[in-house]
Structure 1
Amino acid sequence: MRPLPHRLSGIVLAATAAALVVSSCAAPEEKVADDSASVPAPETGSIPVTVQQAYAPAVVEKAPTRIAALGVGDGDTLLALGVMPTTIAPFADPDQATAPWNADLIGDSQPVVLANTSAALGNEIPKALATSPDLITAVGADPTRDQFDLLTKTAPTILRPAQYKPWQVPWNAQTIQIGTAIGQPDLARRKIAETEAFLAGIRAKNPQFAGKTAVVVTASPTGGVSVYGPEDGRAQTVAGYGLTFPPVLRDTITSGFYGELPAESLDRLDAADIVVAVDWEGSNDKLRSNPAFTRLEVARSGRVAYLPQEVGSAMSVPTLLTIPWVADQAVGPLAEAAGSR
């Protein structure tokens, strides 16, 4: 799972990730009441549990009753596992708790919105602590050690598994991490199996994807594109459909999960069977009118799938909820592009 800033392109996240290292903060003086939070009873024998993770293990000694989702995408996973969190960190519209893929589960509840955990986590921590959580999930975040230590003074805090880099935790690993911490490990595994079966169904219905490569890009203001690497959530999404990242473009990934292709190097995109262009504030329109892009073989032959911004944002953080919603929007355009070759 690759954490992304609210509503955006990997470029902005990478640029702002450095800001996460600044900030530790004191617990707030006032506490915000939130009666909408709910947590199902833990599975038999699941609590107490020790969760292995970055920094230090988290020990959950008793069943949590109020869980704050501090990480991007964590709220989706909690909702899918039957938990109404006290807080949620959105990644489509940073001012709204709900999105098309989770609105039905949130209903009339009003979790506190943490609008900027990707770029300014320290500013959001007081809001999360104000909801009086007895468990905090920050798998889809990158707290500093000082921030982690601060959080653990209030409640056990769940981070990414240590083997994964920040913003690059696969959706299934994130689900297991959170499911284990909240006392729902079996349910987490069942949800993963259901989602994997759903993806297998997509691959079976679209044999044209087999053996093909795809690269996800966003047009940049300079006339080039940002390229999202195999560890990024958007690339993980199309990989679930059976498409692989073009090996010859691996050297373009120079900033963790993404890289840049300047305008003069756009011809390298012709190495991909499919180019998936995700919009960001009109970037797809700019790409369609960019002569350096439209004269590429991949563009002239109809092998570009243009996806709207909300779909691209949802792709950036694959979760139990976004995966099926994105598929409904994206598989059709990708199948059309794949059939053009």
Structure 2
Amino acid sequence: MRSLTHRLFGLLLAAIAAALVVSSCSAPEEDVADASARVPTPEAGAIPVTVQQAYAPAIVEKAPTRIAALGVGDGDTLLALGVMPTTIAPFADPDQATAPWNAELIGDAKPVVLSNSSAALGDEIPKALATSPDLITAVGADPTRDQFDLLSKTAPTILRQARFEPWQVPWDAQTIQIGTAIGQPDLARRKVGETEAFLAGIRAKNPQFAGKTAVVVTSSPTGGVSVYGPEDGRAQTVAGYGLVFPPVLRDAITSGFYGELPAESLDRLDSADIVIAVDWEGSNDRLRSNPAFTRLEVARSGRVVYLPQEVGSAMSVPTLLTIPWVADQAVGPIAAAASAR
């Protein structure tokens, strides 16, 4: 996923774009989802339901048959709950609906790809509406009130719970919110329980994680690093392993869930037991060749974990699908780093 700077700029563009979106939208023929969209039969008594959320409650009066995933990560959650959405907002490769963690569930289906939901939501709304959804999920998005009102004229639109900030919805809360809206609350709770048990298993197999701190960073072109705070998905991912964000770095998080450490302050990373560097377009190579970083104690003692871009992207949006896939790629290297001292 792109940096917060890109995202915040995109959110401004989204607010401007909202004024340009009209209630009757059309899209090119190739943007219309195929007939593979599917929704399982709701659980007994689960529909109708009123979903409490930001802006205003959503009332789902009848079982949905076509669900558009407008939020980042929403598509994964729907897939895990047995839904083939009409649209999907990817976060690894913006031009591809599938990723290693969801490709098997998508199969030959062709949901419409909303490639820029996190940065320019207004541009993606016409594409989503063109798929004729009777339910829209935007839990992993940040629509304006005008955009929400527009979407709600077409179909009940599901947002994050009001107690969460945009982009900071925990994976379990997202799952329950979406599962409730689609009439699968019991299945959603079971899936959450299974994933929590999976994470508990990781903690049990890696007792060296207990009491350790870890911070996720990405190298910046200026020689410093971007730091992802405890509310960010990447930090949520490693927290699931039992690792804790270093309290002394909390003041570096200046933009909600994101902040910067300039080159002259890289020594603050030595306060962490483990530093996890996620790649973004060659940033890990820059970090490995940065003398100010490589001479840090955390680097010299082998407690830096370098993860590839695709893994970092998956970490940024923990879901029922990304959590086990990321663990397969990341737990081993993190465990080795945790044992280095």
Q: Report what 2:239 is aligned to.
A: 239
Identity over aligned pairs, percent: 84
Q: Report what 2:8 is aligned to.
A: 14
Supply the distance in 1 between the matched residues of 2:5 and 2:299 (Cα, whole angstroms).
23
Supply the distance in 1 between the matched residues of 2:108 and 2:302 (Cα, whole angstroms).
43
SS at match of 1:227: strand
SS at match of 1:244: coil
| Deviation of the 1:33 alpha carbon | 5.3
Supply the distance in 2 between the matched residues of 1:44 and 1:97 (Cα, whole angstroms).
31
Supply the distance in 2 between the matched residues of 1:180 and 1:281 (Cα, whole angstroms).
38
Q: Report what 1:313 is aligned to.
A: 313
Q: Report what 1:338 is aligned to.
A: 338
Q: Give CA-to-partner distance per residue, 1:129-162, whole Å, 9 cap, x none.
A: 0000000000000000000000000000000000
Task: Output the amino acid matched with 1:23.
Answer: A
Alignment of 1:29 with 2:26, yes or no, is: yes
Supply the distance in 1 between the matched residues of 2:7 and 2:16 (Cα, whole angstroms).
15
Task: Output the amino acid matched with 1:55.
Answer: Y
Supply the distance in 1 between the matched residues of 2:2 and 2:301 (Cα, whole angstroms).
28
Q: Report what 1:3 is aligned to.
A: none
Supply the distance in 1 between the matched residues of 2:227 and 2:271 (Cα, whole angstroms).
13
| Deviation of the 1:279 alpha carbon | 0.3
Supply the distance in 1 between the matched residues of 2:4 and 2:227 (Cα, whole angstroms).
9
Task: Tell me if the contact between 2:171 and 2:319 (Cα under 8 Å) persists in the aligned partners.
Answer: yes
Task: Output the amino acid matched with 1:245.
Answer: F
| Deviation of the 1:61 alpha carbon | 0.1
Q: Give CA-to-partner distance per residue, 1:217-271, whole Å, 9 cap, x none.
A: 0000000000000000000000000000000000000011100000000000000
Task: Tell me if the contact between 1:28 and 1:129 (Cα under 8 Å) persists in the aligned partners.
Answer: yes
Structure 1: 5+ residue stretches without partners? 1-6
Q: Report what 2:112 is aligned to.
A: 112
Under a length normalisation based on structure 2, what TM-score does the superposition of the two structures give?
A: 0.97
Supply the distance in 2 between the matched residues of 1:322 and 1:203 (Cα, whole angstroms).
17
| Deviation of the 1:114 alpha carbon | 0.3
Q: Report what 2:126 is aligned to.
A: 126
Task: Tell me if the contact between 1:67 and 1:86 (Cα under 8 Å) persists in the aligned partners.
Answer: yes
Supply the distance in 1 between the matched residues of 2:191 and 2:33 (Cα, whole angstroms).
31
Task: Tell me if the contact between 2:26 and 2:126 (Cα under 8 Å) persists in the aligned partners.
Answer: no
Structure 2: 5+ residue stretches without partners? none
Q: Report what 1:55 is aligned to.
A: 55
| Deviation of the 1:23 alpha carbon | 2.0
Q: Give CA-to-partner distance per residue, 1:20-66, whole Å, 9 cap, x none.
A: 32222123236735201000000000000000000000000000000
Task: Output the amino acid matched with 2:334.
Answer: L
Q: Report what 2:267 is aligned to.
A: 267
Task: Tell me if the contact between 1:9 and 1:218 (Cα under 8 Å) persists in the aligned partners.
Answer: no
Supply the distance in 1 between the matched residues of 2:9 and 2:38 (Cα, whole angstroms).
36
Q: Report what 1:276 is aligned to.
A: 276
Alignment of 1:45 with 2:42, yes or no, is: no
Task: Output the amino acid matched with 1:316.
Answer: S
SS at match of 2:154: coil
Task: Tell me if the contact between 1:48 and 1:61 (Cα under 8 Å) persists in the aligned partners.
Answer: yes
Task: Output the amino acid matched with 1:158.
Answer: I
Task: Tell me if the contact between 2:234 and 2:316 (Cα under 8 Å) persists in the aligned partners.
Answer: yes
Task: Tell me if the contact between 1:11 and 1:258 (Cα under 8 Å) persists in the aligned partners.
Answer: no
The range that moved more, 143-152 or 25-34, is: 25-34
Task: Tell me if the contact between 2:14 and 2:123 (Cα under 8 Å) persists in the aligned partners.
Answer: no
Under a length normalisation based on structure 1, what TM-score does the superposition of the two structures give?
A: 0.97
RCO (CA 8 Å, sep 6+): is it higher in 1 or 2? 1
Task: Tell me if the contact between 2:270 and 2:298 (Cα under 8 Å) persists in the aligned partners.
Answer: yes
Supply the distance in 2 between the matched residues of 1:127 and 1:11 (Cα, whole angstroms).
25
Q: Give CA-to-partner distance per residue, 1:61-92, whole Å, 9 cap, x none.
A: 00000000000000000000000000000000
Task: Tell me if the contact between 2:34 and 2:109 (Cα under 8 Å) persists in the aligned partners.
Answer: no
